[in-house]
């Protein structure tokens, strides 16, 4: 499992973006994790799935609500990573009103989740291999803080916890 001090794994996430006004979309677009995190401070949080109850009601809103404070604490970007395709992540972004605040990045084949060692096997529930729920503060591609949730919990990976770590 990835730990504090480790470099983020080499992976490509996918991002769906919309062009407002003309109904056309851009993407899905590849996001090279190493290039996109180089020289930046990233508040990264991952969760089991788009549109799932805790993820939609609590996890994503905790970062949207703390956006200004995270930016003031030196965070350049906020990333939400989930084992979903970019189109689902784009639809979820619209639903959660994350535009301009949280980058919704799809890890469709769970390559990033597997490379971090933070997978969650939900095959028995018909959901396959997913990402565990966690957050991390990433500085220049290296993990500076890591908060991994116990199964079924939402106690340490919220926006307020990562904000306190960013301020520290």
Tens of pLDDT, residues 69-110: 999 999 999 999 999 999 999 999 999 999 999 999 999 999
* φ, ψ of residue 161 in degrees (nearest 5): -65, -45
Of 110, 50, 39, 104, the closest CA to residue 78 belongs to: 104
Q: What token pair was written down for 130?
A: 């997913």
Would you state the pLDDT for residue 142? 98
pTM, 2 dp: 0.93
Would you state the pLDDT for residue 120? 85
CB 33 within 8 A of CB 42: no
Q: What token pair was written down for 148?
A: 């991994």
Known catalytic residue at 80: no
Catalytic residue among 13, 55, 81, 102: 55
Would you state the pLDDT for residue 108? 94
Q: Is pLDDT above 90 for 123?
A: no
């Amino acid at each position: 499992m990835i730990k504090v001090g480790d470099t983020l794994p080499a992976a490509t996430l996918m991002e769906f973006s919309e062009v407002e006004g003309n109904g056309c979309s851009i993407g899905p677009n590849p996001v090279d994790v190493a290039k996109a995190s180089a020289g930046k401070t990233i508040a990264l949080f991952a969760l089991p799935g788009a549109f799932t109850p805790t993820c939609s009601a609590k996890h994503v809103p905790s970062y949207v609500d703390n956006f200004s404070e995270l930016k003031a604490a030196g965070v350049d970007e906020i990333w939400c990573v989930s084992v979903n395709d970019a189109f689902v992540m784009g639809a979820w972004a619209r639903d959660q009103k994350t535009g301009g605040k949280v980058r919704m990045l799809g890890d469709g084949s769970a390559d990033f989740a597997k490379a971090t060692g933070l997978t969650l096997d939900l095959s028995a529930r018909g959901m396959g291999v997913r990402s565990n729920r966690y957050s991390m503060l990433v500085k220049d591609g290296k993990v500076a803080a890591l908060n991994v949730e116990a199964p079924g919990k939402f106690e340490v990976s919220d926006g307020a916890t990562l904000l306190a770590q960013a301020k520290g």
